[in-house]
């Protein structure tokens, strides 16, 4: 059973971005699934994948927001940079001392961050992007 489930109330109205968010939820669910096995290896793998994927996702999302002249683009970019920095720091901490970053800490951080970000930030751009011809 998955820890997080995609629901339509998380939809930003842009299928490509919704698919990206589903992928991020899948990464979080990998941490949850690993809690019964070698969680330390899973944490490192998920954090590495998360860094790669969030950089890709954030770049794509920011291009989309620029194309539809989203007025809060700079603030949104700052939030993205902050997330990448936090995940990078968490991964570096884990690589230096695997016991310092637990699977449950990783799961809690990522799930709370993703839900707050989608609901608190990403849904704000929906009216600007949903029916924009550039999207």
Where do the domains of the chain lie?
A: 14-129
Write down the pTM of the prediction.
0.86
For domain 14-129, which CATH number applies: 2.60.40.1170, 1.20.120.50, 3.40.449.10, 2.40.37.10?
A: 1.20.120.50
pLDDT higher than threshold 90 for residue 32: no
Q: Whose structure tokens read 């936090």?
A: 86
Q: What does the angle CA 7 – CA 84 – CA 80 come to, to the nearest 5 degrees? A: 65
46-61: string of b/e by CB count within 10 Å (b at 16+)?
bbeebbebbeebbeeb
pLDDT higher than threshold 80 for residue 40: no
Give the list of residues 6+ apart from residue 31 with CB closer than 8 angstroms, or none: 3, 39, 42, 43, 46, 103, 106, 107, 110
Please state, for a pLDDT cut of 70, what percent of the chain lies above it.
99
Cα separation, 107 vs 65, whole angstroms: 28
Per-residue model confidence as pLDDT tens digits over 52-102: 998 999 999 999 999 999 999 999 999 999 999 998 999 999 999 988 988
Per-residue model confidence as pLDDT tens digits over 94-130: 999 988 988 888 889 888 888 899 999 999 999 998 8
Task: Output the pLDDT for position 101.
Answer: 87
Please give the C-alpha separations between residue 81 and each of 56, 67, 75, 78, 102, in angstroms, as whole numbers: 12, 20, 10, 5, 23
Q: Count CB atoms within 10 A of the CB of residue 19.
A: 11
Task: Output the pLDDT for position 104.
Answer: 87
Average pLDDT over all residues of the chain: 89
């Amino acid at each position: 059973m998955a820890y997080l489930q995609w629901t339509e109330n998380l939809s930003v109205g842009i299928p490509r971005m919704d698919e990206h968010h589903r992928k991020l939820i899948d990464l979080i669910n990998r941490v949850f699934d690993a809690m019964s096995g070698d969680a330390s290896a899973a944490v490192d793998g998920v954090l590495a994948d998360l860094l790669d994927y969030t950089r890709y996702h954030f770049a794509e999302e920011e291009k989309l927001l620029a194309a539809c002249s989203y007025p809060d683009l700079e603030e949104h970019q700052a939030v993205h940079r902050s997330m990448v920095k936090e995940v990078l720091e968490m991964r570096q901490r884990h690589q230096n001392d695997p016991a310092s970053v637990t699977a449950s800490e990783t799961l809690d951080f990522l799930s709370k961050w993703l839900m707050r970000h989608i609901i608190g930030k990403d849904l704000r751009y929906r009216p600007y992007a949903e029916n924009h011809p550039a999207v």
